[in-house]
């Protein structure tokens, strides 16, 4: 297989949590989510080099070595072994040189052009690196970088056209004899024969498959590989001994540097990694995030100002201008209520998206989520999850799609499937748009608290569903949890800014693609019936009215039998934000919505909306990351759970009011 623009494709490869995605964001015009935890990148992402659109950088998931077997590891291996590329940018962490260099040696043995970036040098407080000696030893360009501050990135770009490297690590005579025998038997090779031989002896799955599938004499080669199981260990020891010697040669203590300096973050970790204090602090952080995002003096105030400007002033001005032209009432309603009304209804919620993603970016990049993962692992174990799942579930507050994709990094099938199935229960930013709209009808100044409680409720519901699956579908399977606890790091605000801009564009695209189109369709079928065009007072006799009434019978037990509510829920599955514009259209204005909703109906609606079927994009990703069976299980369990909880909430609230 070939990547596009064959002559200008470079792979970005490195261990997890070395700053590779930050490197990608600063090196290219694209943006990818950055997290200060391992396995942030779970699929490849391609971006164009800044000021050079013909040069593509392919950001691959983090991988510890070429012998890894996880789903995201296979993405890297498939690309390295099967695709054409011009070179490799190997990003390493200068502070974890001994660990990261094993992958570097494996990449160098492929004899492809490799530019080695020693990243995060700002954290290398008490040592200095002899870069020139390192270049000579590895026979490849080596650049000291700090991607967060763009340090060294220009030099990396100038080194991209470096020649094929000729690095060759000498192994024991016994191993070298095997390498030579295997190399002499390999034919029609894309990568160097020696590389395939070494990888095969290290039991690399892709190298072994290549030999099995492409070599006529594969049995003879496999016989050599399996003749002595000690070769894999000997190769590992030779590489690691070389790395230790290399480290001692190129890393030097800085004279006069005070090494034993008290780290204030160690004190913070003592608090955040204790179970008795960790969870209360975590919930306090969540409460603060939601208060600032949706509170009456911050995000809520911005929402109010934009709503007033668009819906109370601008929309009225446009409507009055249309009336002066004496255009048909049907056309005026279509322009103001369908075309502009749908867009204006969701635009005031843009500040919520902005503020929420600022906090998600801060949580991801600081290293706090890794600490939460470490503390919650034991708690989540009965639910079929590990501490790593927390990272994905919290990221789901922005969008469920990347949460499901992050399940690739799960270390067991049990955790992966359960993570995929419960991810849609986490309330995403699109749902919070609807929460804030409905909550403002009843709770006014406490909208932020309602949304926080709904988020906690949806999280606990996800855990209950996880427990159900853990004790039924995967009862005999156990999870394995391993996570690297990274250093605390200051956020990269440039990357956070790019991420927010990406989310704003995504929000505006969704407004244009789903909300605009959806509101036009809903308004049209709400004003057309068997007897032709209808005015606002005749909507109940429209096609929408008949659809809503049919669905409403099913929702009668949970208090949502009104055809207008039923219709708004039914037609919101492509994108959850559409529910707001749907209600404004079928209720014919915010005043009628206020008049209809009481406490019991509002609570039932919010609970049902929080749990029922995921949006179209999420369903598509569940299918692509899993299968149709799990997609249908997700849809079924979501509808059943939403119905049961809404039934309980409605009748309890109804009996108390």
pLDDT digits (tens, 9 = 90+) for 374-405: 777 777 777 767 666 677 677 677 677 767 77
Q: Which residue has the tokens 């391992």?
A: 38
**pLDDT (0 to 100) of residue 324:** 82
**pLDDT (0 to 100) of residue 465:** 87
**pLDDT (0 to 100) of residue 263:** 58
**pLDDT (0 to 100) of residue 39:** 47
Does 173 belong to an annotated binding site? no
Does 21 belong to an annotated binding site? yes
Does 341 belong to an annotated binding site? no
What's the fold here for domain 8-159?
Rossmann fold (3.40.50)
Residues in the chain predicted with pLDDT less than 50, given as ranges, are: 1-5, 33-42, 257-262, 479-481
Does 122 belong to an annotated binding site? yes
- β partners of residue 119: 93
Does 56 belong to an annotated binding site? no
Q: Is 588 left (phi over 0), alpha (psi -120 to 50) or beta?
A: left
Does 60 belong to an annotated binding site? yes
Does 25 belong to an annotated binding site? yes
Does 15 belong to an annotated binding site? yes
Does 131 belong to an annotated binding site? no
The distance of Cα 119 from the centroid of its chain, to the nearest Å, equals 23
Question: Encoding tokens for residue 420?
Answer: 């995929």
Residue extent(s) of CATH 3.40.50.300 domains in the chain: 8-159
* Residues 126-156 pLDDT 10s: 778 888 999 999 999 999 998 888 888 889 8
Judged by DSSP in three states, 54 sits in strand
Cα–Cα dist 453/180, whole Å? 65
**Half-sphere CA count of 582, side-chain side, radius 13 A:** 24
CATH code assigned to 173-261 = 1.10.287.1770
**pLDDT (0 to 100) of residue 258:** 43
Does 35 belong to an annotated binding site? no
Question: Encoding tokens for residue 422?
Answer: 């419960």
Does 62 belong to an annotated binding site? yes
Does 293 belong to an annotated binding site? no
**pLDDT (0 to 100) of residue 62:** 83
Cα–Cα dist 416/378, whole Å? 17
**pLDDT (0 to 100) of residue 260:** 44
Residue extent(s) of CATH 1.10.287.1770 domains in the chain: 173-261
């Amino acid at each position: 297989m070939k990547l596009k623009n064959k002559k200008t494709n470079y792979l970005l490869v490195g261990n997890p949590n070395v700053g590779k995605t930050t490197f990608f964001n600063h090196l290219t015009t694209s943006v990818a989510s950055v997290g200060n935890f391992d396995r942030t990148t779970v699929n490849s992402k391609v971006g164009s080099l800044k000021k050079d659109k013909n040069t593509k950088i392919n950001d691959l998931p983090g991988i510890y070595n070429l012998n890894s077997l996880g789903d995201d590891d296979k993405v890297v291996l498939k690309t390295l072994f099967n695709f054409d590329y011009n070179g490799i940018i190997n990003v390493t962490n200068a502070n974890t040189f001994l660990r990261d260099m094993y992958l570097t040696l494996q990449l160098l043995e492929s004899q492809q052009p490799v530019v080695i970036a020693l990243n995060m040098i700002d954290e290398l407080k008490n040592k200095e690196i002899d870069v020139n000696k390192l270049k000579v030893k590895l026979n490849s360009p080596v650049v000291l970088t700090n991607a967060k501050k763009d340090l060294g990135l220009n030099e990396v770009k100038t080194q991209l056209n470096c020649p094929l490297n000729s690095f060759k690590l000498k192994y024991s005579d016994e191993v070298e004899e095997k390498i030579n025998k295997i190399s002499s038997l390999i034919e029609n090779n894309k990568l160097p024969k020696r590389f395939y031989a070494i990888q095969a002896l290290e039991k690399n799955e892709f190298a072994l498959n290549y030999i099995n599938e492409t070599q006529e004499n594969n049995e003879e080669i496999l016989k050599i590989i399996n003749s002595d199981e000690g070769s894999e260990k000997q190769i590992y020891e030779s590489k690691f001994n070389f790395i230790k010697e290399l480290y001692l040669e190129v890393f030097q203590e800085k004279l006069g540097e005070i090494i034993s300096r008290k780290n204030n973050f160690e004190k913070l970790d003592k608090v955040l990694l204790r179970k008795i204090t960790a969870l209360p602090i975590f919930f306090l952080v969540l409460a603060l995030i939601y208060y600032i995002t949706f509170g009456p003096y911050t995000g809520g105030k911005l929402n109010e100002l934009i709503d007033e400007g668009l819906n109370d002033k601008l929309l009225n001005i446009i409507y009055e201008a249309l009336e002066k032209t004496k255009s048909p009432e049907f056309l005026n309603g279509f322009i103001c209520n369908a075309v502009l009304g749908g867009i204006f209804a969701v635009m005031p919620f843009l500040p919520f998206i902005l503020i929420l993603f600022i906090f998600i970016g801060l949580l991801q990049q600081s290293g706090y989520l890794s600490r939460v993962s470490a503390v919650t692992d034991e708690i989540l174990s009965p639910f079929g999850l590990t501490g790593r799942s927390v990272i994905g579930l919290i990221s789901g507050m922005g969008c469920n799609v990347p949460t499901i994709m992050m399940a690739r990094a799960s270390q067991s099938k049990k955790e992966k499937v359960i993570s995929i199935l419960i991810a849609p229960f986490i309330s995403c930013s699109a749902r919070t748009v609807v929460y804030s709209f409905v909550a403002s009808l009843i709770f006014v100044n406490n909208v932020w608290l309602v949304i926080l409680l709904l988020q906690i409720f949806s999280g606990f519901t996800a855990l209950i569903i996880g427990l159900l699956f853990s004790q039924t579908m995967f009862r005999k399977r156990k999870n394995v949890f391993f996570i690297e606890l990274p250093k605390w790091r200051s956020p990269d605000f440039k990357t956070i800014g790019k991420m927010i801009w990406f989310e704003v564009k995504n929000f505006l695209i969704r407004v244009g693609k789903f909300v605009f189109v959806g509101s036009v369709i809903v308004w049209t079928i709400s004003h057309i019936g068997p007897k032709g065009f209808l005015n606002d007072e005749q909507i109940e006799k429209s096609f929408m009215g008949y659809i809503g009434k049919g669905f409403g019978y099913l929702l009668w037990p949970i208090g949502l039998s009104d055809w207008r509510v039923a219709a708004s829920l039914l037609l919101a599955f492509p994108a959850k934000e559409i529910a707001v514009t749907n209600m404004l259209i079928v209720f014919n204005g915010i005043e009628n919505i206020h008049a209809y909703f009481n406490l019991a109906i509002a609570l039932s609606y919010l609970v049902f909306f929080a749990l029922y079927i995921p949006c179209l994009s999420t369903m598509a990703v569940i299918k692509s990351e899993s299968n149709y069976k799990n997609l249908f299980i997700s849809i079924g369990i979501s509808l059943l759970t939403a119905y049961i909880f809404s039934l309980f909430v409605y009748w309890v609230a109804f009996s108390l009011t």
